Amino acid sequence: MTIQNKIVLISGATSGIGKATAELFAENGAILILCGRRIERLDSLKETLSRKTKVYTLQFDVREKATVFKLLQNLPPEFAAIDILINNAGNAHGLDPFQFGDIDDWDAMIDINVKGLLYMSKAVLPKMLEKQAGHIINIGSTAGKEVYPNGNVYCASKHAVDAINQGMRLDLNGTGIKISAINPGMVETEFSEVRFKGDTERAKKVYQNFTPLQPEDIADIILFAVTRPPHVNIADLTVMCLDQASSTVVNKR
Ligand code: NDP
Ligand code: 8X3
């Protein structure tokens, strides 16, 4: 299967995995709807990728339920029939022992990683159900497979993504809609900068002395997942760099 002329919505397209996926999908002829909060990044992506394909950008926060539904239910007709939704927007806030965790950080992770993903999926599904076709890729994490020290609520949010992915696959079975989870280990993006609230030195250290995954590695895997033959669904795929064996075991040199 090819993604040529498929309409693909990517949440969190302004950096990291989402941006790399937008770039790779543009190369492969997909029509893109790119979302995020940083308008200047959306504008710059639109300018660059419009040289290759049709691009529509939407600036919004996935936490804003009414906005998510309003925008996604009122897309321009040429972008309305979404074929592929990549639920990628998400982040970690803080890395503190549970007893010292910041409640605002907890709210942000649950609201973005879990509730945002639910809103996006619910808003996009009606048209997929009408067509009896479509593909939702949920970006989970190794943090959704195991809990690591101080990861508490971030890990809980990604375990929720894992459960939602399974639940969606069960309930949508028979509708023609594919549901897949891609669960990366450590990927060098802005993820740790966000987690450590702009402390770039601390963020950089997370990826030092080993060879982490790059966002392009995950984009490749997402492309693989959405180009399988119609009868094949990648249900759940976990990927780590060679140096990583689990959330806590990384071969640092
Ligand atoms: P980045 O921080 O580089 O990218 C996160 C993206 O999500 C940005 O485009 C950001 O855009 C968007 N985003 C964040 N919050 C919101 C929000 N409230 N509303 C709308 N968009 C939002 O990180 P990654 O690329 O690494 O992360 C992408 C996904 O991959 C996340 O779900 C993350 O949990 C997951 N992941 C990451 C791993 C890693 O090691 N990096 C490993 C496993 C999973 P903007 O700020 O413009 O809104
Ligand atoms: C991100 C992976 O291990 O850095 O989901 O939390 S980790």
> Within a 10 A sphere around the Cβ of 235, how many other Cβ atoms?
12
pTM of the model: 0.98
One-character DSSP codes across 58-109: EE--TT-HHHHHHHHHS--HHHHS-SEEEE----------GGG--HHHHHHH
| Rounded Cα gap, residues 43 and 9, in angstroms | 16
Is residue 119 part of the annotated active site? The answer reads: no
- The interface pTM score, or ipTM, of the predicted complex is 0.99
Q: Whose CA is closest to atom 5 on ligand 2?
A: 141
| Rounded Cα gap, residues 40 and 44, in angstroms | 6
Sheet with 177-184, side-by-side order of all strands: 55-59, 31-36, 7-10, 84-87, 134-139, 177-184, 236-239
| Rounded Cα gap, residues 247 and 253, in angstroms | 17
CA 88–ligand 1 middle distance (angstroms)? 6
pLDDT of 101 reads 98
Q: Which fold has domain 7-239?
A: Rossmann fold (3.40.50)
Ligand 1 pocket residues where CB is under 6 Å: 11-18, 36-38, 41, 61-63, 88-91, 112, 139, 141, 184, 186-187, 189-191, 194, 215
Q: What is the pLDDT of residues 23-56, one digit of tens each?
A: 999 999 999 999 999 999 999 999 999 999 999 9
CA 174–ligand 1 middle distance (angstroms)? 31
CA 253–ligand 2 middle distance (angstroms)? 19
Q: What is the pLDDT of residues 194-215, one digit of tens each?
A: 999 999 999 999 999 999 999 9
pLDDT of 244 reads 98
For the chain, what are the domain ranges? Answer: 7-239
Residues 6+ apart with CB under 8 A from 165: 138, 140, 179, 180, 181, 236
